[in-house]
Structure 1
Amino acid sequence: MSGFVISRRGVLTAAGFGLLGIGAAGCTPTTHPDASASGRTAGEGAMGRRLGAEWESHALTVMSWPTAAIWGEDLPYVRDDIATIAATIAGYEPVVLLASPGDEEDAAYEAGDDVEVVTVPVDDLWARDTVPVFVEGPDGLEGVDLNFNGWGGKQLHDDDSGVAAAFLREFGIPRVVASLVAEGGSLETDGLGTLLVTESSIVNGNRNPGRSRDELEAELMQLLGMRKVIWFDGVVGEDITDAHIDSLVRFVAPGVVLLDVPGPGAPDDVWARSSAQARSVLDGATDATERAIEVIELPQPDFAKIRGEGDDFLASYVNFYIANGAVFLPEFGDRSADRRARDILQEQFPDRDIVPIAIDTVASGGGGIHCATHDLPGEPEE
């Protein structure tokens, strides 16, 4: 690799690191340096792709090291959160932490010996949205660059807009350039051709001006190998993401979803109405296989009992992250709600550890564990 790498376990090598195609059958990816550098448009060879489910095997988890330009005086606290998440996940699968030039040593020191640090310029910590979406293509693994634009120009993104291309160059993975603007957090799939999306986060003039929902749906289906898209209204303009799906509805198995619902004493606000609207959609929905969708409610904590604060605080347990052997769940300080969320996740994932992590500063920035992580499919090296 060309970039600075602090490598203690030797997970990363110039020749590769256990990448396989998505799914049980497997398919060893080919490396196309020219395609990785310049990119193909989505219309070229887009058929035959598949976006896998998060519970499928991972080669590793990708994260990003936050910068002072975004976090200011809160930087030490948010870096503590990210270092904790990275080190905890590294107990189950390899973790690569992207850090800007000059930040590598600090990232390596804080994240610890089990986390690999790679030099890629970043602005912020939200790897779910800036790292490419990885799909199984006709010739193996591909990275889909969704043209990150700072969630519709809401935040500085000079470096984050280049993370997808830089990552794919660094790791020799072919790049596919989408003809739309979206983020990884706006997409949720069962791995069997069903896609969940909020309309507010994609059919929005700040990402895709002048484009209809039907047009964008057709592009998503071809780009990601989907057979059915289920749309939710979402919420426009109330948070930086315009209401990503990964804090509202998540698949935990084919035909089964967890739905974020208000906790005790929650107001009847736009978020409560968004949850109710999502429930109304799901109650009559079927997936790509025509299976009815089972909805399991995952209530938020009581805001009077949580540790965090701030208008942007994200108290959604639905923003969990599934890794090899474990599910990482945000913990907010409402003991009853935290325990209930752990029990619900354990019931859905009986063979995985449910690992709670306190992320008060990350949550105060409007995100969660899922927002801060991105899975690279494949088998980890021994």
Structure 2
Amino acid sequence: MHRPAEWDRHDEIIMAWPSIENDAYADKGGSRDLADATRDISAIAEAVAEFEQVTLLVTPDRLQEAKKRFKHDAEEILIQPVHDYHKLDLWMRDMAPTFVFDGCHLDGVDYNFNGWGNKFPVNASESLASQVCDNMNLTRVSTWLVTEGGSLETDGEGTLLITDSSIINENRNPGKSQQQIEEELRRTLGITKIIWLRGVKGGDITDGHVDGLARFIAPGKVVISRPNTLDDRKFSKVFKDAHFILSNATDARGRRLEVVEMVEADLYSLGLDRRTLKDIESENEDYPSLSYVNWLLVNGGVIFPQFGDKKADAAALSIIRDLYKDRRVKTVRLDQLPFLGGGIHCSTQEVPA
């Protein structure tokens, strides 16, 4: 097996509109949150479509709405009806297959999505990876391992970044040792070197996915997300530990990693109302995901988040443009996805060419 790097060419990007029946939106702001999440997802899809094909999974209850929304992008954004998935959610990085090559053949690994450790079960989406493989006429690679695509960051040359909190966890792989998990990751992804970062169990719904913490820019080069303030002991410790580990690590080919920092947006610079801020401060609401490293590489481009913090947005944008001088950087303003716990990378899954 071989898991390509994200900077390799793609055939398409898989995305999804959340279903009206999804409990995640009913439990929060209802139709308002659903509409806001749909707006963010649609903006991402339109940005991606400037570079490559998008396949957008849509449940029957929203099919006509989606066709109307993308009537001018029908060639670039293919709307694919999904039946029998009444509670479809938008997080395709975790719910869709993780694509790998077995020789010259493209396969899809089904990592048994279980709602991020049964914290937020989305019953209909638990078998979505298998259905996507069937629809694409691909071999489904089965495994006992429970994990998500957002946990797996590869350089295409045998190196994997992963957080221990999101996989060596009783809510996903009870009774399994680190060695057993490593062996299965090597089998299903074809990697030869695993760099373990320390996440925080329960720190967010994902238990600390790596794609919000550290990403490969190129072989031997990593960008790490730095909290806007280091006053928060929990997240500052995650950053400091990860920075230390990465700065002293070598990849599968023996190269010492170069580490670049990218500072997150400031919660207090987003123009949020006092009630929302108070709910976050009191932990009645989860802290939003304001990490810029949750970008998506597309053919010839980068789809890059902006959050409304003018200073941090501009600084992060300058860094990514400098790092990817050979790619066009397309920004997308995110207003709702960060408050649902994710971003651009979390909501997309590339199909390698």
* SS of alignment partner, residue 319 of structure 1: coil
Question: 2:191 is matched with which residue: 195, 205, 226?
Answer: 226
Alpha-carbon deviations, 1:88-133, whole Å to 9, x = none?
Answer: 1111100001112222222222244321111223521100000100
**Structure 1 partner of 2:283:** none
Aligned pair 1:79/2:38, yes or no? Answer: yes
C-alpha contact (below 8 Å) 2:151/2:162 kept by paired residues: yes
**Structure 1 partner of 2:248:** 284
Question: 1:372 is matched with which residue: 341, 347, 353?
Answer: 347
User: How many angstroms apart in 1 are the aligned matches of 2:308 and 2:143?
Assistant: 40
Alpha-carbon deviations, 1:125-179, whole Å to 9, x = none?
Answer: 1000001000010351000000000001111321111110111111111110122
C-alpha contact (below 8 Å) 1:312/1:365 kept by paired residues: no
**Structure 2 partner of 1:153:** 118
Alpha-carbon deviations, 1:333-364, whole Å to 9, x = none?
Answer: 11121111111111111111111111110111
Aligned pair 1:206/2:171, yes or no? Answer: yes
C-alpha contact (below 8 Å) 2:19/2:61 kept by paired residues: no
User: How many angstroms apart in 1 are the aligned matches of 2:107 and 2:209?
Assistant: 23
Unaligned segments of structure 2, at least 5 residues: 281-285
User: How many angstroms apart in 1 are the aligned matches of 2:70 and 2:127?
Assistant: 24
**Structure 1 partner of 2:316:** 341
Q: Which amino acid aligns with 2:352?
A: P
Deviation at 1:326, TM superposition (A): 1.1
**Structure 2 partner of 1:51:** 3
Deviation at 1:266, TM superposition (A): 4.7
Alpha-carbon deviations, 1:178-221, whole Å to 9, x = none?
Answer: 22000000000000000000000000000000001111011101
Q: Which amino acid aligns with 1:140?
A: H
* SS of alignment partner, residue 305 of structure 2: strand
Q: Which amino acid aligns with 1:57?
A: R
Question: 1:118 is matched with which residue: 67, 77, 80?
Answer: 80
* SS of alignment partner, residue 239 of structure 1: coil
**Structure 2 partner of 1:14:** none
Q: Within 5 Å, give how 1:1-382 maps onto structure 2.
A: 49-68=1-20, 69=22, 70-72=24-26, 73=30, 74-114=33-73, 115-120=77-82, 121=85, 123-263=88-228, 265-307=229-271, 310=280, 311-378=286-353
* Runs of 4+ with >4 A deviation: 307-310
User: How many angstroms apart in 2 are the aligned matches of 1:250 and 1:124?
Assistant: 24
User: How many angstroms apart in 1 are the aligned matches of 2:304 and 2:104?
Assistant: 35
User: How many angstroms apart in 2 are the aligned matches of 1:119 and 1:303?
Assistant: 37
Q: Which amino acid aligns with 2:66?
A: A
Deviation at 1:329, TM superposition (A): 1.1
C-alpha contact (below 8 Å) 1:259/1:295 kept by paired residues: yes
User: How many angstroms apart in 1 are the aligned matches of 2:71 and 2:207?
Assistant: 34
User: How many angstroms apart in 2 are the aligned matches of 1:125 and 1:65?
Assistant: 6
TM-score (norm 1): 0.84
* SS of alignment partner, residue 290 of structure 1: coil
C-alpha contact (below 8 Å) 1:266/1:302 kept by paired residues: no
C-alpha contact (below 8 Å) 1:59/1:93 kept by paired residues: yes
User: How many angstroms apart in 2 are the aligned matches of 1:253 and 1:286?
Assistant: 14
Q: Which amino acid aligns with 2:267?
A: F
C-alpha contact (below 8 Å) 1:108/1:116 kept by paired residues: no
User: How many angstroms apart in 2 are the aligned matches of 1:190 and 1:212?
Assistant: 24
Q: Which amino acid aligns with 1:141?
A: L
C-alpha contact (below 8 Å) 1:233/1:274 kept by paired residues: yes
User: How many angstroms apart in 1 are the aligned matches of 2:60 and 2:251?
Assistant: 44
User: How many angstroms apart in 1 are the aligned matches of 2:231 and 2:90?
Assistant: 30
C-alpha contact (below 8 Å) 1:189/1:251 kept by paired residues: yes
C-alpha contact (below 8 Å) 2:97/2:109 kept by paired residues: yes
Deviation at 1:306, TM superposition (A): 1.8
Unaligned segments of structure 1, at least 5 residues: 1-48
User: How many angstroms apart in 1 are the aligned matches of 2:72 and 2:146?
Assistant: 36
User: How many angstroms apart in 2 are the aligned matches of 1:204 and 1:196?
Assistant: 17
Note closer, same or farther for the CA distance 1:85–1:284 as it changes in structure 2 (3 Å cut): same
C-alpha contact (below 8 Å) 1:87/1:112 kept by paired residues: no
* SS of alignment partner, residue 224 of structure 2: strand
User: How many angstroms apart in 1 are the aligned matches of 2:139 and 2:93?
Assistant: 19
Worse-superposed segment, 73-82 or 290-299: 73-82
Deviation at 1:327, TM superposition (A): 0.6
Higher helix share: 2
Alpha-carbon deviations, 1:35-86, whole Å to 9, x = none?
Answer: xxxxxxxxxxxxxx11001011010100011123221321111111111111
Q: Which amino acid aligns with 1:184?
A: G
Percent identity of paired positions between Structure 1 and Structure 2: 41
Deviation at 1:250, TM superposition (A): 0.1
User: How many angstroms apart in 2 are the aligned matches of 1:368 and 1:105?
Assistant: 25
